Amino acid sequence: MSKENYNAYKNAQAQFDSVAKKIGLDEAICDLLRQPLREYHFSIPVKMDDGTSKVFRGYRIQHNDARGPAKGGIRFHPDETVDTIRALSMWMTWKCAVVDIPLGGGKGGVVCDPRVLSEREQEQICRGYVRQLARNVGPIQDVPAPDVMTNAKHMLWMLDEYEAIHGAKYPGFITGKPVGMGGSLGRTEATGYGVIFVLREALKELAIDITKTTAAIQGFGNVAQYAAELYTKLGGKVIAVSCWDNNDKTAYTYKKLDGIDVDVLMSITDRFGCIDKDKARELGYEILPGDAWLEQDVDILIPAALENQITAENVNKISSQVKVIAEAANGPTTPDADKVLNERKVFVIPDFLANAGGVTCSYFEQVQCNMNYYWEKDEVMQKLDTKMTAAFKAVYDLAVNKEFNMRDAAYVISINRVAEAVKKRGWL
């Protein structure tokens, strides 16, 4: 597939345009919401460990902040593009709106590969990123968080740099921090668990017993690991996991028909979600091509990697047994593939609903930081379950009443909430 054909930003705009037309959204509001309010593009010069210097490209894009400060992760990826970040910032706006938290959408990224960078080099990128943005982000402006290939350590470096620049403590500036340093209990599990909370509710509505279901997952990073953990705790069986192999520079699918043991598989997985192929083989896993996860005879597919993974070219490889797709990744399904899935009546839980557990718990972390009072883990997880369940039910009820698919129903709720905020503020 070509990047031109599957441009994430164009896909995000196409999804928005389709729903805006259905609900008769005002033309001026359409023009405002189909593109970011503001963008920051900058360079981050870094002195490398070998004495050479290298310049990394960084971005922060704030799509809309009518409902509250912008919120969204920072990803480090060698193939990062500004259009991907634009799309992700837009999806963050809808994500915050669909779970009804008072935040807007933002996203950031640096074109780099942390897998080949030392800790010192990564720290310099983190601090350089904040130095470029210190006047344009903050707890009441724009609150970043971890994303692909960033983690709590990166967030703490960024917080430390921000506080050094501003000369005060601002723990609410960034979320996804280590527990004990302003982080929230439950944040590590939040996105993956949120996926399964809404999947659980979907299966109830579809009268499907979760204990009789099987699933295949793409990705085995943080989101996929905790989604697999909770899904198996609820009685489901994961039979296949696909992930990137950093040594071979390709993806593989690890299959075990009697079900994977999540704890065992995590024990042979590195911090980037790459499974040790030789150890997996010793444990009895069948090793298949990277895209084989999509073709398994399972009830549930959980794409939990990157955008544009289910496309017109591979959507027809999905087994007729598949009943539900829970989009744990951002933008994993292209609009043309979405049409095919709708025709086949596959129940798709859209990304900005399915994976909203992460931003919801980030919001909880921000609230706790600003109060300087932290909740116990059980309280965090209960609040997360309540929020995710309520969001799912609102979307599902609208989908049933208006005969929308779940993606359109989620968009209708989100777009209407953001458009209402725009109008009430008198922007248009």
Please give the Cα distance from 105 to 92 (Å, whole number): 4
Please state, for a pLDDT cut of 70, what percent of the chain lies above it.
Answer: 99
Note if 107 is an active site residue.
yes
Radius of gyration of the chain (CA): 21
Strand arrangement, sheet containing 142-146: 38-47, 53-64, 104-111, 70-77, 142-146
Per DSSP, what are the bridge partners of residue 59?
Answer: 41, 109
Domains 43-169 and 188-354 share a fold: yes
Between 306 and 190, the higher pLDDT residue: 190
What is the pLDDT at residue 8? 87
176: alpha, beta or left? (left if phi > 0; alpha if psi -120 to 50): left
What is the pLDDT at residue 273? 82
Torsion of CA 74, 78, 79, 84, to 10 degrees: 10
Please give the Cα distance from 159 to 138 (Å, whole number): 10
CATH architecture of 43-169: 3-Layer(aba) Sandwich (3.40)
The domain limits of the chain are 43-169, 188-354
Using CA atoms, how far residue 306 sits from 63, 113, 148, 180, 397, in Å, is: 20, 15, 9, 30, 29
Residue for token pair 């895209």: 291
Q: Which helix (H) or strand (E) holds 398?
A: helix 377-402
User: Rounded to 5 degrees, what are φ and ψ at 297?
Assistant: -80, 80
What is the DSSP secondary-structure string of 115-156?
A: GGS-HHHHHHHHHHHHHHHTTT-BTTTEEEEE-TT--HHHHH
**In the structure, what pLDDT confidence band is assigned to residue 201 with cuts at 50, 70 and 90?**
very high
How does DSSP classify residue 5?
T
184-201: b (≥16 Cβ within 10 Å) or e: bbbbbbbbbbbbbbbbbb
Q: How many CB atoms lie within 10 A of CB 179?
A: 15
pLDDT tens for each residue of 327-356: 999 889 998 999 999 999 999 999 999 999
Catalytic residue among 95, 107, 177, 387: 107
Fold of 188-354: Rossmann fold (3.40.50)
Angle at which helix 187-205 crosses helix 377-402, to 10 degrees, equals: 40
Residue for token pair 């390709």: 250
What is the pLDDT at residue 248? 84
User: Rounded to 5 degrees, what are φ and ψ at 270?
Assistant: -85, 180
From the number of C-beta atoms within 10 Å of its C-beta (0-12, 13-18, 19+), residue 371 rates as exposed
Using CA atoms, how far residue 70 sits from 34, 147, 341, in Å, is: 16, 15, 32
Q: Quote the Cα angle for 62-67-69, to 5°.
A: 50
Q: Which residues contact 78 (CB under 8 A, 6 or more apart)?
A: 111, 112, 113
What is the pLDDT at residue 4? 47
Q: How many CB atoms lie within 10 A of CB 27?
A: 9
Please give the Cα distance from 80 to 109 (Å, whole number): 7
What is the pLDDT at residue 2? 40
What is the pLDDT at residue 1? 35
What is the pLDDT at residue 19? 93
What's the whole-model pTM score?
0.91
pLDDT tens for each residue of 211-256: 999 999 999 988 999 999 999 999 999 999 999 888 888 999 999 9
